[in-house]
Amino acid sequence: MSTQRASVSYTPEARLERARARARDLESLIGLRGRRVLEVGCGAGDLCDVLAKEYECRVVGLDVAAQADWREIGAHPRIELVQADIASDALPFESESFDRIVSFVAWEHIMHPWSALRSCQRLLKSDGKKYLYAWLYGSPLASHLYHMTDEPWPHLVYSPQELKAKHGLAELPWYYWCNRLSLQHYLFYFRQLGFLVTHQVLIQSELDPAQLEPHRPVLQQYPDFDLRTDAFQVVLEFDPASPRAPIEDPVYRLRSR
**pLDDT tens-digit readout, 19-34:** 999 999 999 999 999 9
* Per-residue pLDDT band at 1 (split at 50, 70, 90): low
Query: What would the pLDDT profile of 111-137 be if each residue is shown by its tens digit?
Result: 999 999 999 999 999 999 999 999 999
Query: What would the pLDDT profile of 34-81 be if each residue is shown by its tens digit?
Result: 999 999 999 999 999 999 999 999 999 999 999 999 999 999 999 999
Query: What would the pLDDT profile of 208-226 be if each residue is shown by its tens digit?
Result: 999 899 999 999 999 999 9
State the pLDDT at residue 46: 98
As a whole number, the mean pLDDT across the chain is 92
* Per-residue pLDDT band at 240 (split at 50, 70, 90): confident
* Burial (CB count within 10 angstroms: exposed 0-12, middle 13-18, buried 19+), residue 153: buried
Q: Which residue has the higher pLDDT, 45 or 248?
A: 45
- Contact status, residue 99 vs residue 191, Cβ threshold 8 Å: no
State the pLDDT at residue 2: 54
Q: Is the pTM of this model over 0.85?
A: yes
Task: Considering only CA atoms, give the Rg of the chain.
Answer: 19
**Is residue 140 pLDDT above 50, yes or no?**
yes
CA dist., res. 62 & res. 191, Å (int): 25
Residues near 24 by Cβ (< 8 Å), separated by ≥ 6? none
State the pLDDT at residue 256: 44
Find the DSSP H helices in the chain: 12-30, 46-54, 70-73, 113-123, 154-157, 160-167, 183-192, 209-212, 216-219, 224-228
- Contact status, residue 10 vs residue 43, Cβ threshold 8 Å: no
Share of the chain above pLDDT 70, in %: 91
Query: What would the pLDDT profile of 95-117 be if each residue is shown by its tens digit?
Result: 999 999 999 999 999 999 999 99
